[in-house]
Amino acid sequence: MFIVQNYPLAVSFCLVTMLCWGSWGNTQKLAAKTWRYELFYWDYVIGILLLSLIFGFTLGSMGDQGRGFTDDIAQVSSKNFWSAFTGGIIFNAANILLSASISLAGMSVAFPIGVGLALVLGVFINYFGAPKGDPVILFMGVALIVIAIILNGLASGKMSLGSEEKKTKKKGIIIAVCAGILMSFFYRFVASAMDLNNLENPMQGMLTPYGAFFIFSLGILGSNFIFNTVVMKKPFVGEPVSYSQYFKGNLSTHSVGILGGIIWGVGTVLSYIAAGKAGPAISYALGQGAPMIAALWGVFIWKEFKGASKQVNLLLTFMFILFIIGLAMIVISGGN
């Protein structure tokens, strides 16, 4: 299987993760013109599963290092299988909430609050689970990102909106906070199922990143039959939707959702591959710089802050600056 051999390449993979995690929401925004997010989400989950198989039978099966994809799946212990599977369940619950938040509050609000909160809590969880990197620099970088999240919330609160729109956005923010708390836990479950310290000769019963991602995606798919069915019948906003409506969607509509899952999946599997060299905390933290990317899409492409005052624009500018400095400190922490 393909293994990352140096820290700079691991960081590069983590930056691609950040781009992917911050960009998949664009596919939901595109689909939202004709397609409810609950229906979009089924295609998104299918895209993740397809991507896990593509990576498993390509990068996960090439070369003579490590353990091949099919052999990896065949030998996994029950404990590590369920750990990776549980990570998928937790992620799916969090991501459904995040998708709901995007539909209510927009990308430039939902991502910085939801995923930003997941970054902060997740770094602590992953670092103390597997310490790697300079903790002082790492947590200083995280602190700057916390401030950036707060600035984003202030900017959102200062937008002049109608009372109904404010109510909807407030609901989206509350859901984003819940999503962020849940999302901070999923990565640790997946990371603990992998032998990140010895990918060349992984311990028997433990997983490689490719096997772990496939089992993780099964957890997402399996739990989606419960979580998304509930949300379809009792949506956060709007009328209930049915499975018959899903099957009435055309090929292009379904393709957008599948593309969203593939984009997110590429970022996730690269994060797992990079974790062997960068460590779970740094790999996770860099990927979770996605809110900055999503906010850029939301502000400049989807015009979610169109007509904002100078004060709001100033808050957004400082948010971007602090996010960049915080991410740079996280990168530096791993080299010490």
DSSP string computed for 218-278? HHHHHHHHHHHHHHHHS-SSSS---HHHHHT--HHHHHHHHHHHHHHHHHHHHHHHHHHHH
Residue 173 DSSP class: H
Give the pLDDT mean for 92-99: 92
Look-up of token digits 């209510």: 104
Pairwise CA distance, residues 321 & 147, whole Å? 11
Least-confidence region, from 139-153, 204-218, 257-271 = 139-153
Give the pLDDT mean for 263-291: 82
**Residue 89, C-beta contacts closer than 8 angstroms, at least 6 positions apart:** 219, 220, 222, 223
Which residue, among 304, 292, 43, 328, has the nearest Cα to 156 in the 3D structure? 304
Pairwise CA distance, residues 262 & 246, whole Å? 19
Q: Comparing 263 with 159, which gets the higher pLDDT?
A: 263
Is residue 206 predicted with pLDDT exceeding 90?
A: yes
Please answer whether residues 45 and 199 qualify as being in contact, where contact means their C-beta atoms are separated by less than 8 angstroms: no
Q: What pLDDT is recorded for position 336?
A: 55
Least-confidence region, from 8-12, 78-82, 240-244, 328-332 = 328-332
Q: Dump pLDDT digits (tens) for 4-28.
A: 888 889 889 988 998 998 898 899 8
Pairwise CA distance, residues 18 & 74, whole Å? 31
Q: Which two tokens stand for residue 125?
A: 């969880």
pTM (2 decimals)? 0.84
pLDDT range class, residue 288, cuts 50, 70, 90: low
- Alpha helices by DSSP H, listed for the chain, are 7-23, 25-31, 37-57, 69-75, 78-105, 107-110, 116-129, 135-157, 163-192, 209-233, 243-247, 251-278, 280-287, 290-296, 310-333
CA-CA-CA-CA torsion sign (111, 117, 120, 123) = negative
Least-confidence region, from 59-68, 185-194, 281-290 = 281-290
Q: Dump pLDDT digits (tens) for 125-150.
A: 777 777 777 889 988 988 888 888 78
CA-CA-CA-CA torsion sign (157, 160, 163, 167) = negative
User: From its phi and psi, is residue 238 left (phi > 0), alpha (psi between -120 and 50) or beta?
Assistant: left
Q: What pLDDT is recorded for position 305?
A: 80
Domains of the chain, residue spans:
36-136+159-286
Is residue 54 predicted with pLDDT exceeding 70?
A: yes
| Secondary structure of residue 305 in the 3-state scheme | coil
Q: What pLDDT is recorded for position 161?
A: 59
Please answer whether residues 212 and 218 qualify as being in contact, where contact means their C-beta atoms are separated by less than 8 angstroms: no
Give the pLDDT mean for 182-194: 90
- Which of the listed ranges 51-65, 185-199, 266-280 does the model predict with the highest average pLDDT? 51-65
- Which of the listed ranges 64-68, 227-231, 328-332 does the model predict with the highest average pLDDT? 227-231
**Residue 301, C-beta contacts closer than 8 angstroms, at least 6 positions apart:** 26
Pairwise CA distance, residues 278 & 122, whole Å? 15
